[in-house]
Amino acid sequence: MSEEEDSRPVEIPHTELAPVTLRAVVESFVLREGTDYGAQDASFERKVADVMRQLERREAVIVYDPGSDSVDIVVRRPGR
């Protein structure tokens, strides 16, 4: 594998993470993103549940970036 291939972001299936690790990744994402729910504020637990649901429906995916050694959750692009 080339160095460029080694530094490409890698999709991590949420089902491959231990439940406590998955919860920590989602909580970190929710705290970092400051998701906008419009005029109605949503509780932290609701935001976590919403992201978990998006992962389960494969509307969002967990991505590990070896270049920055970071994990993020991104909306899945149509057709993927």
The per-residue pLDDT for range 49-59, each reduced to its tens digit, is 999 999 999 99
Tokens for 32?
């970092």
Of the candidates 64, 58, 53, the one whose C-alpha atom is nearest the C-alpha of residue 8 is: 64
Domain carrying residue 27: 3-75
Mean pLDDT, all residues of the chain: 86
User: Between residues 32 and 21, which one has the greater pLDDT?
Assistant: 21
So what's the pLDDT on residue 5?
A: 60
The per-residue pLDDT for range 32-43, each reduced to its tens digit, is 865 555 556 788
User: For residue 80, is it within any domain?
Assistant: no
Residue 64: partners with Cβ closer than 8 Å, 6 or more residues away: 9, 10, 12, 70, 71
Residue 23, domain CATH: 1.10.10.610
pTM: 0.79
- Contact by Cβ (8 Å): 73, 63: yes
The domain total for the chain is 1
CA angle 28, 29, 33 (to 5 degrees): 120
The pLDDT-based confidence of 3 (bands split at 50, 70, 90) is: low
